[in-house]
Amino acid sequence: DLLGKTAIVTGSTSGIGLGLARGFAAANANVILNGFGDAAEIEDMRAELDGLGAGQVVHDGADMTQPDEIEALVSGAAERFGGVDIVVNNAGVQTVSPVEDFPKDRWDMIIDINMNSAFHVIRAAVPHMKAAGWGRVINIASAHGLVASPFKSAYVTAKHGVVGLTKTVALEVAEAGITCNAICPGYVLTPLVAKQIPDTAKARGMTEDEVKRDVLLAAQWTKKFVTVEQLAGVALFLCSDAAENITGIALPVDGGWTAA
Ligand code: NAD
């Protein structure tokens, strides 16, 4: 139970982040939703999380490309709730392109959102966690934080960077009661993945069904997509007392992908 604890989940207006936010809400935490979207739809999400048993749920639309907005997200949560206990660095975007054609602005954006934002969140949140003598940093990396796939140079670079950041921070904060871990999901059928199916089909000269079967699930030995509910369960475990001595890991939740 996370009653009285406060969790920030970046990029939680969709997909995995929303699934994790639901998990924290059901565990009675205060939840700070973050991410883009239609205001009315975000209010519906906020109300839904409220109904799951969350302490309080607020939305902060901080843009993960803007360090100032990220700092304000963390300090705002700390002021409102008296601390920041759990941060989940989840916001992420993708572009699929051969490296020689990779749009330079998309490279910068992916590095900013998928990697640099995690640094800015952690930098701002660690002092609050140290003050409380307890904290959980969870970085949503990817199987692509451990292995590569072609045409995803920026994403794979950013996710490998997040795994390095995870290990480094884990060592620095270990004695302060704070753990820092990465979760490395395989494919989850969220809007992020659905959107890249047409581009992957184009890049590989395949149909979209072939991409699902022969690309996305090819390396996922269970032949099943990972679900957001499963990832919420893993995140809650990392927040539990049982996980107090688990730190600095990059935990694959990938149907065996990175075992092969
Ligand atoms: P998604 O597209 O469904 O959701 C992304 C979220 O990030 C949205 O809420 C969006 O509003 C938010 N976001 C995007 N740009 C932002 C910005 N500049 N500032 C603030 N918020 C921003 O994606 P998803 O599939 O749920 O992915 C979530 C995370 O999980 C990403 O880091 C992704 O790399 C990672 N991941 C996804 C998969 C998968 O198969 N879906 C696998 C491994 C890792």
- Of all protein residues, the one whose alpha carbon is nearest to atom 44 of ligand 1 is 142
The beta-carbon contacts of 195-203 under 8 Å, at least 24 apart in sequence, are 195/94, 196/94, 196/96, 199/95, 199/96, 199/97, 200/96, 200/151, 203/96, 203/97, 203/98, 203/151
Say if residue 66 is exposed, middle or buried (CB neighbours under 10 Å; 0-12, 13-18, 19+).
Answer: middle
Q: Is 155 a catalytic residue?
A: yes
Give distance in angstroms: CA of 175 to centre of ligand 1. 31
Residue 78 near ligand 1, beta carbon < 6 Å: no
Confirm whether pTM is higher than 0.90: yes
Angle at CA 192, nearest 5°, toward 188 and 193?
50
Tell me the C-alpha distance between 102 and 97, whole Å. 5
Tell me the C-alpha distance between 224 and 154, whole Å. 26
Residue 48 near ligand 1, beta carbon < 6 Å: no
Q: What is the pLDDT of residue 196?
A: 84
- Of all protein residues, the one whose alpha carbon is nearest to atom 6 of ligand 1 is 11
Residue 205 near ligand 1, beta carbon < 6 Å: no
Q: What is the pLDDT of residue 88?
A: 99
Q: What is the pLDDT of residue 192?
A: 83
Tell me the C-alpha distance between 90 and 79, whole Å. 22
Q: Which residue stretches of the chain have pLDDT < 70?
A: none
Q: What is the pLDDT of residue 244?
A: 98
Give distance in angstroms: CA of 14 to centre of ligand 1. 7
Q: What is the pLDDT of residue 51?
A: 97
Show the domains of the chain with their CATH numbers: 6-186+227-252 (3.40.50.720), 188-225 (no CATH)
Given the residues 24, 107, 151, 155, select the one marked as catalytic: 155
